[in-house]
Chain A
Amino acid sequence: AQSVSQHNHHVILSEAASLELGCNYSYGGTVNLFWYVQYPGQHLQLLLKYFSGDPLVKGIKGFEAEFIKSKFSFNLRKPSVQWSDTAEYFCAVRLDSSASKIIFGSGTRLSIRP
């Protein structure tokens, strides 16, 4: 079955550290890829998305992600994190252009030490 894997369940970093959260999916066809963020007590917000074109996509708040098709990966990166980045991060995949649903990963909780 198609799935999305986020191997890091909880990541703890100090402010100004660099961040990379892993995301892998299992599907051989065309995909749309997303990273959503959920700040404490808030709703899911779109951080960035990949539909086509340049595999390096830039999102809000200094985040970026790179789609590597050969590795079925879409890792999220930020060169220097801030305390306000403390949140849960979800990688998500839409399997093809006709699909209506999004498949989410299990999420990675990011805690930033001030």
Chain B
Amino acid sequence: EPEVTQTPSHQVTQMGQEVILRCVPISNHLYFYWYRQILGQKVEFLVSFYNNEISEKSEIFDDRFSVERPDGSNFTLKIRSTKLEDSAMYFCASSTLVGGGNNQPQHFGDGTRLSIL
């Protein structure tokens, strides 16, 4: 079964530095998402992306965050001027239809653990 893949599995970055998290969605999927899970807390929606544009974003996704689909396969999340509170597990997801509609759910990657020191 095709999978969403994320790299790296663990990223350690100094506070204030920029970090890029990478995701390869399932190849025929059109909608892409980032979620994060701070240790011990719930999974939270960050952003959704379709047709090279952000479809929806949460209040967490401030101007330090950006997403990009630089080529036909990768989907990246960039965080500039990282803060300690950005430390979390970041999950990428993809789906064929918006939000995972019409019985086509979102598929999640293994996640990237981001540690800000």
Interface residues of A (CB under 8 A from B): 32, 34, 36, 42-46, 49, 51, 90, 92, 94, 97-107
Contacts of A106 in B (CB 8 A): 41-42
Interface residues of B (CB under 8 A from A): 4, 31, 33, 35, 41-45, 48, 50, 55-56, 58, 91, 98-103, 105-111
B99 contacts which of A43, A99, A105 (Cβ < 8 Å)? A99
* A69 CB, min distance to chain B CBs, angstroms: 19
Instruction: Show 6 A/B contacts (Cβ-Cβ < 8 Å), sorted by A.
Output: A43-B109, A51-B101, A90-B42, A100-B31, A100-B33, A101-B56
* A18 CB, min distance to chain B CBs, angstroms: 26
A100 to B110, Cβ gap below 8 A?
Answer: no
* A89 CB, min distance to chain B CBs, angstroms: 12
Contacts of A101 in B (CB 8 A): 33, 45, 48, 56, 58, 99
Given contacts A32-B99, A43-B108, A43-B109, contact A100 B50 (CB under 8 A): yes
A105 to B91, Cβ gap below 8 A?
Answer: no
Contacts of B58 in A (CB 8 A): 101
A43 to B42, Cβ gap below 8 A?
Answer: no
* A31 CB, min distance to chain B CBs, angstroms: 11
Contacts of A100 in B (CB 8 A): 31, 33, 48, 50, 55-56, 98-99
